[in-house]
Amino acid sequence: MDDIEVVVSKCDDYDLNNIEKSMDEVLELTHALDEIKPNMNVVIKANLVAPMAPDKAGTTHPNLLYALCKRLIEKGANVTVGDSPGGPYNKGYLNQVYKTTGLTKLEELGVKLNQNFDEITIKNPEGVKCKEFPMTAYLKDADYIIDFCKLKSHGMMALSCAVKNFFGIIPGTIKPEFHFLYPDYADFANMLIDLNEYIKPKLSIVDGIIAMEGNGPTAGIPKKVGLLLASKNQYKLDYICSHIIGLSMENVPTIEESYKRGFIPKDVHEIKCNFNIDDLIVKDFDTRKTHKSLWFTDEKTIAGRIAKKLLSSKPNVNKDECIGCEKCKNVCPASAITMVNKIPHIDRKKCIKCYCCQEFCPKGAMKVKRTMFAKMLQKKKEK
């Protein structure tokens, strides 16, 4: 068992007893607790994308965090849990997020919910795409960082899992600027990998018990997958998670780029797991596949540009669900949205397809719509 790279534990629900059993199993098989020493500062980077209740499946479940923190505190660690969601990065907003996501119950264990909202500038000369970035300061003094993400379908990047979780180290309102700086999916993926390589989490855990399918990362639908997964290699962990929900390497830019950087093998079956990963596949998981390999590589050619137009998903507002709050307009890094009669209107020429409007819409009214051509192509590939 010692050569296992990705550990999987089956867990049907968020009942604390079941969760503690699964958490103990993954901690034992990854040997993670062996490295925790008394007074060590352990920081858990959760996924707290928005103030969402745990049953919406958009955020790391509080019972899982509870089970993990309990074990860390038993080992004598000082534990902090944090994230920078979309939206303002300040005490008022974060305390609302902690409360809604159910994290305040962690305080009874002695866990600190991060209250340091400073930002620092990180020089990252080794980064491939991202050589300098602003970072949430609470991560700086950590002795041991745990990446605890949620398994979700993602409108822009296809998969929100361990690697994408570190976009949350960029302070809240700066995130849209990063979409503008890295409009190409491969560049955006490499930026995310650069953040991961800077942080180098010691352990990554995926809450895949109830995942999110469809219009993720905030407006999708809860979907039972029934798995808790962990690894010391977040790239291999993501590759296995993508396989389980029916995404291939070419559908997920972070996976394709991590392969190009030599972090994962081409064949997902070469990753050593304590289960036969094909037995874990959820066949009817509703994903949002990108067709990156078809259009980003050829973008300089006319054929590539036509393919991009035909395949590229677009944000579209559902007028019946829209409440006219203007959050999409305010978050749009390309200033592509204007409000017309309290309904957002998107200037397609300006839109860089970052899907921030979809991610931050509080009502799920902004949908990512795939083109007919992309749907036809997917069906053909699935036959």
User: Residues in the site for ligand SF4, rule: CB under 6 A?
Assistant: 315, 317, 322-328, 332, 334, 336-337, 344, 346, 351-357, 361, 363, 365-366
Q: In whole angstroms, how close is the CB of 139 to ligand SF4 at the nearest point? A: 27
Angle, vertex CA 184, rays to CA 314 and CA 121, nearest 5: 115
Residue type, 5: E
How distant is the alpha carbon of residue 4 from its chain centre? 23
Nearest CB to ligand SF4, comparing residues 60 and 153: 153
Q: What crossing angle do the helices spanning 234-244 and 185-199 adopt, rounded to 10°?
A: 130
Q: DSSP letter for 248, please.
A: -
Nearest CB to ligand SF4, comparing residues 186 and 346: 346
Q: In whole angstroms, how close is the CB of 367 to ligand SF4 at the nearest point? A: 9
Q: In whole angstroms, how close is the CB of 305 to ligand SF4 at the nearest point? A: 18
Q: In whole angstroms, how close is the CB of 349 to ligand SF4 at the nearest point? A: 11
Nearest CB to ligand SF4, comparing residues 129 and 353: 353
CA separation for the pair 249, 229 (Å, rounded): 19
Q: In whole angstroms, how close is the CB of 312 to ligand SF4 at the nearest point? A: 11
Residue type, 321: E
- Could you tell me which residues are beta bridge partners of residue 273? 6
The DSSP H or E segment spanning 177 is: helix 175-181
Nearest CB to ligand SF4, comparing residues 135 and 365: 365
Task: Say how many C-beta atoms besides its own lie within 10 A of residue 118's C-beta.
Answer: 11
Nearest CB to ligand SF4, comparing residues 205 and 357: 357
Calculated CA dihedral for residues 322, 323, 328, 331, nearest 10 degrees: -160
CB 323 within 8 A of CB 363: yes
Nearest CB to ligand SF4, comparing residues 307 and 354: 354
Q: In whole angstroms, how close is the CB of 183 to ligand SF4 at the nearest point? A: 9
